[in-house]
Structure 1
């Protein structure tokens, strides 16, 4: 009975981000279908995740352009005729959007980000549907399925380069939660060019480890990798994992989320902030923090170098690197335009 009670206390404390100690080499926290965190034996889940990494399932690619902004044209890897007959235009920038756990290509984050790009100009926007691997109540399986989804994304990008003359240097990959790791794995495995920019929107933390960059989003997966952290340490990564890592409200407990015990609201804010940055590219102003301890200690000076989070175009080529803090509002518009 004491052991059971101790595990319950640890699980509840994790949700509330309390500093309860446990050995991360033996135990880990994963979310259930209601996004409540549960402490499980790492040895019990590692094998199951490894099996899922070798699984196979359908990954679909849905093209939207300003000529078909709301009705998708589905294109399969290797179907050169479908690509040729679509509205894909290699002269326009290309963006790939990848959803997270228990979502699909019709999820709100995809349409919100897609529409913001079209408001900016002509883009090829591919929404990646990997719900066959992501839409499961079993988080362990979904986490393992990011490997297959990422490799299939890379194969599709290589196909569009070959058959559609896609310019990888004008291509961005945007992924939320587990989708952030899908785009990271995708970027690693593209063989016909280097992706210009990857945006990782609160990359999922449970079952992904800083010591295993080959299995997650990491610096080097594109020419420029930007990670946006809004639920650090619970559903999302807290450590910096990109060329530049941005921490709205120090990376967790996002304003306006209220008593967010599951932290799902803070986790989703990364998508909302990114979408807003596409229409207000200079408003998410952030200040550079020299030390990671200034992020975790919530004490970053406002006198350092500044950069903007997200936006179109990205920060690639602007010398933006390191960790950045920015304040955000509790409701729309979330950008404050100041540090």
Structure 2
């Protein structure tokens, strides 16, 4: 698994430069081109962010099926002939996978999740290639580009509905880090039906606010939204942002990551867990907590608790799964413990 954010070090300079009256709504830690984290005043990057949100760049969609599990068929929005000539089958469930910052459609997380779906059965798996918007050292720009990428994803989904009879009711969107916000924004802007399920894999925190759900993954972006938190409060969101929010090991410092100064190991574990959940669909058992405070306090009572499984195929849509959940995980594969 490639680490999405790479080396993250909070330098002494950033700490010394921090304001005396720190306000998380005015200051944010973001990674720079050398992967060091720095405090930045949001007012200083607002204009750059606004410009990037209006930017345009090419996006590619790579289709994999049982018939072409290794070599993708590339389809562009509006190219109905390419869609008709492809192996896309509207009778099969469809899955979209979106990568994070400085990754591409060939990144490990795409292959891991794609292969697990195709091992499970007959699926249309589209890998969303938005590297033209994400493959930049400027994290602020990449974060803002999630808006454009999400809208382009929605346009492609509408195109496949209109020209390939895609069933949005049997379509899932899966995104990691910045990609989680891409699929969330995509779900918001689909006009031809409602997406069944969105999985947000440790949705990126820097430059995204709990108070701005219109610009990030949020409940309502699909019929069912599930967020999986593995590096909460650092590179990933800590607050629950889905119908159901799952917190392996209480959402941070994942077992087996050791002294994870970069937190990249914990951040990428969300992808590893999700991929495994597709092969062991009933093993990531989680206990429902009474509230988010039991996650932050790391004191979720599991005795007699309602249980649910994290990830998996099919999703938890329609099963009444909602709220926040804690689950233990192992330090190495298999990460699922099979119990709470």
Partner of 1:57: 57
* Distance in 1 of aligned mates of 2:208 and 2:80: 36
Report the TM-score, using the length of structure 1 for normalisation: 0.94
Partner of 1:184: 184
Inter-CA distance 122–300: structure 2 relative to 1 (3 Å threshold): same
* Distance in 1 of aligned mates of 2:47 and 2:295: 34
The offset of 1:207, in angstroms, is: 0.5
Give the CA RMSD over aligned residues. Answer: 1.4
Partner of 1:334: 335
Inter-CA distance 9–306: structure 2 relative to 1 (3 Å threshold): farther
Give yes or no for the alignment of 1:284 onto 2:284: yes
The offset of 1:7, in angstroms, is: 3.6
Count residues with an aligned counterpart.
328
The offset of 1:25, in angstroms, is: 2.6
Conserved in 2, the CA contact under 8 Å of 1:35 and 1:264? no
The offset of 1:26, in angstroms, is: 2.2
* Distance in 2 of aligned mates of 1:332 and 1:269: 11
Map Cα deviations across residues 135-168 of structure 1 (whole Å, 9 max, x no partner).
Answer: 0111000000000000000000000000000000
Give yes or no for the alignment of 1:138 onto 2:116: no
Partner of 1:14: none
Partner of 1:16: none
* Distance in 1 of aligned mates of 2:35 and 2:255: 19
The offset of 1:291, in angstroms, is: 1.5
* Distance in 2 of aligned mates of 1:269 and 1:99: 14
Map Cα deviations across residues 22-79 of structure 1 (whole Å, 9 max, x no partner).
Answer: 2113211112245432111111112211111000000100000000001000001011
Give yes or no for the alignment of 1:318 onto 2:319: yes
Moved more, 257-266 or 157-166: 257-266
* Distance in 2 of aligned mates of 1:295 and 1:233: 12
Inter-CA distance 253–5: structure 2 relative to 1 (3 Å threshold): closer
* Distance in 2 of aligned mates of 1:78 and 1:136: 27
Q: Give unmatched runs, 5+ long, in structure 1.
A: 12-19
Inter-CA distance 141–68: structure 2 relative to 1 (3 Å threshold): same
The offset of 1:8, in angstroms, is: 2.6
For the residue of structure 2 that corresponds to 1:227, the secondary structure is strand
Partner of 1:17: none
Partner of 1:15: none
Map Cα deviations across residues 305-329 of structure 1 (whole Å, 9 max, x no partner).
Answer: 0000000000000000000000000
The offset of 1:21, in angstroms, is: 7.3
Conserved in 2, the CA contact under 8 Å of 1:35 and 1:262? no
* Distance in 1 of aligned mates of 2:34 and 2:227: 25
Map Cα deviations across residues 221-250 of structure 1 (whole Å, 9 max, x no partner).
Answer: 000000000000010000000000000000
Conserved in 1, the CA contact under 8 Å of 2:199 and 2:227? yes
Conserved in 2, the CA contact under 8 Å of 1:61 and 1:127? yes
Q: Give unmatched runs, 5+ long, in structure 2.
A: 1-10
For the residue of structure 2 that corresponds to 1:140, the secondary structure is helix
* Distance in 1 of aligned mates of 2:315 and 2:289: 20
Partner of 2:15: 8
Partner of 1:125: 125
For the residue of structure 2 that corresponds to 1:192, the secondary structure is coil
Conserved in 1, the CA contact under 8 Å of 2:28 and 2:207? yes
* Distance in 2 of aligned mates of 1:333 and 1:5: 38
Map Cα deviations across residues 93-124 of structure 1 (whole Å, 9 max, x no partner).
Answer: 00000000000000000000000001100000
The offset of 1:85, in angstroms, is: 0.4
Inter-CA distance 34–286: structure 2 relative to 1 (3 Å threshold): farther
